[in-house]
Amino acid sequence: MSILWLVLALSCLLLQEVQSNKYEGYKIYELAKPKARIAVLDQALAALSLNDTLYEVFSSGSQPARIMVHPEEQLNFVQLLDGHALSYRVLNSNVGRTLRREFATDRKLRNKFPYRGNGRLGTERFYSHGEINQYIEDLAQEHPRRVFVKTVGKSYERRLMKTVTITNGDGRRNKNVIFVDGGFHAREWISPAAVVYLIDELVNNLSENADLLLDYDWVILPVVNPDGYEYTQLSEDTRMWRKTRKPSSTDCIGTDPNRNFDFHWNEQGASQNPCADTYAGSKAFSEPEAQVVSDLIHSYAARGKMYLTLHSFGPYILYPWGWSSDLPDTVEDLHEVAQAGFDAILADTGTFYEIGSSTNVLYVAAGASDDYAFNAGFPISFTMELPPGGTGFDPPASAIDHMVKETFVGIAAMARKVVEKYPLA
């Protein structure tokens, strides 16, 4: 009898776990983009993206499209695809199950690989915002002549936003600046992971990267959206959250911080719906996190030569404009630097990054930080969309090491091209 009760209890717990998972039964479909059907598919994706309670379009542009579909809508979706003769495959048959397994693994890795405050973060797992802040503080203590940490603002939920400035320690002032940030979108955990690896390479591998620090200082903000980032780490139900955590209406929370900048704000590619994932905010810089990035951009614009913001997923290296299909007058300079990153990554790992302007390669995204930085005076400004993993935004911990090292190869190559093109005056 006791065994029967145990089985029933375990069954109830399992059922409760499944029922409580927001994404249980969701599927992710990948749609090929044959040239003859691109227009039809793009129209379909645009229509589906408006119904974000049943569909979430994860990627579009020239890469195969990925769409997450609510269980109750999957039959209609497949019929829609078949009716338009669009080919597809099921990339993930149960998103909830995938996220549940990933969270179980994440909890185990947090216990197995705690941050011990020694100024080194490994690539075994993803780290919290608090751990990343402590890590850069520890680096500054360990390298007081080369590493400098500054609190540059607070998030809506009062989390401290800190930059780390990395130099070669020669004491020279007014060097050129490369400004890098990560973690704009909460669910893109691989972005802060790649930023952390970049920091580690610049600080702890100076002999290999001395040329990157000779006439340049690096200013790095590891997590732009700490509230959203921490929220995604609560459970599998919150894992796919994208926005900030400031209430946007009486019913909804969050603004897309990468649509909140005061350059072509609230134009095409941004939403006026407070519940939408691309909500531009009630006004430009309504989000304190976007304001912090803006302040940093302006404080370094006179010396800034490259602004780089890391996102996922792609893989893309994107330059302005994101608000328009027009190209900047200096597009050849932008493309030359992007090409250096493309070539280095392709030679090192074989990963094929697509490069070009945001609007022409991916989609229109007005009010974004890369356009804002470019307009403010950074001659090179990129969004680097890292490759997909897991359902797209959630590469497993086992993929971190490869992905962040590959990303660094591209960043280093682009930085070396910038150093070459823009020597210290």
Q: Which residues are catalytic?
A: 385
Which helix (DSSP H) or strand (DSSP E) does residue 178 occupy? Answer: strand 176-182
Using CA atoms, how far residue 325 sits from 257, 322, 388, 422, in Å, is 22, 7, 25, 27
The DSSP bridge pattern shows strands 216-221 and 176-182 to be parallel
User: If you write DSSP's letter for every residue of 221-265 in order, what string do you get?
Assistant: ES-S-HHHHHHHTS-TTTTT--S-SSB-SSS-B---GGG-SSSST
* Residue carrying structure tokens 């340049």: 216
Structure token digits, residue 340 = 């250096």
Burial class (CB in 10 A: 0-12, 13-18, 19+), 372: buried
**Do residues 194 and 259 touch, judged by C-beta distance below 8 A?**
no
Classified as helix, coil or strand, 215 is: coil
Classified as helix, coil or strand, 376 is: helix
